[in-house]
Amino acid sequence: MRNHEYLWPGIAALLLALCFPVYWLYVFHLSSENFMQVYKADLLKLSWSDLAFVLIGALEVYVYLSLRRSFAERLQSGSAAVLLLVMTMLVVAFHATVVVDLVIVFSGGVMPDAQLSMIAETTVAVALGLLFAYAVVAFVLAIVLLLKRTAASGLLKCFAVVLLLCCVLQFSIFLSPGTIFLFPVALLLLAFYFLKEPQELELV
């Protein structure tokens, strides 16, 4: 049955809903005074926060791929599945920025401050670009889910609304920290969706 088949994705979504706000609140707390200085120092060493960053990325990828599989099993059109695949690729690229830490650390971790600053600024710019692209794709996905013609899971409708709000906060930049608290709500809805009994979905 579907509730057994999607047990692990449901658990992964619950774990992500817990880990996501804890990690990002920790990051915001550390970098509240001077983000770039804190980030430059972090680039020179590996820490538990780097492992947590990778773990969160892995959980998010697993949840999205599981949701994509769920959609593919019951949707007549693959538009939502394609959007989820793009979101997954953007998440992988965003969390792959940890490779910069690995390269610097394993190359000795010593370099001129100007060079380190350039690497840090470039990495942050790329990461912000990926987050913006993710928000655009997620916004489109939310609209697609809300505009589907047939009655579908109320949880998916709620998920789409919360995801849409997350994207709006992300676009506003100044309100983007609000996603720390709102995105876990979307993840909880996904967890319940994975763990509940199947319903027929149809998307155009």
Question: Which pLDDT belongs to residue 1?
Answer: 45
Cα–Cα distances (Å) from 140 to 1, 24, 64, in that order, read: 30, 25, 15
Least confident of 1-15, 77-91, 142-156, 186-200: 142-156
Mean pLDDT over the full length of the chain: 88
Measured between alpha carbons, how far is 37 from 34 in angstroms, rounded to an integer?
Answer: 6
Close Cβ partners of 173 (under 8 Å, ≥ 6 residues apart): none
Question: Which pLDDT belongs to residue 109?
Answer: 67
pLDDT category at 204 given cuts 50, 70, 90 is very low
Task: State pLDDT tens for residues 2-40.
Answer: 557 889 999 999 999 999 999 999 988 887 778 888 888
Domain spans in the chain, listed from the N-terminal domain onward: 2-195
Asked if residue 157 lies in contact with residue 126, where contact means CB atoms within 8 angstroms, the answer is: no
- Three-state DSSP at 195 gives helix
Measured between alpha carbons, how far is 72 from 65 in angstroms, rounded to an integer?
Answer: 10
C-alpha neighbours within 13 Å on the C-beta side of residue 191: 16
Detail the DSSP E strand segments found in 24-77: none
Written as six digits, the tokens of 136 are: 């655009």
pTM: 0.89
Task: State pLDDT tens for residues 152-161.
Answer: 578 888 999 9
- Nearest to residue 61, comparing CAs of 94, 28, 102? 94
Written as six digits, the tokens of 140 are: 């489109």
DSSP string across 31-81? TSS-HHHHHHHHHTS--HHHHHHHHHHHHHHHHHHHHHHHHHHH-SS-HHH
Task: State pLDDT tens for residues 70-83.
Answer: 887 766 557 888 99
Question: Which pLDDT belongs to residue 150?
Answer: 53
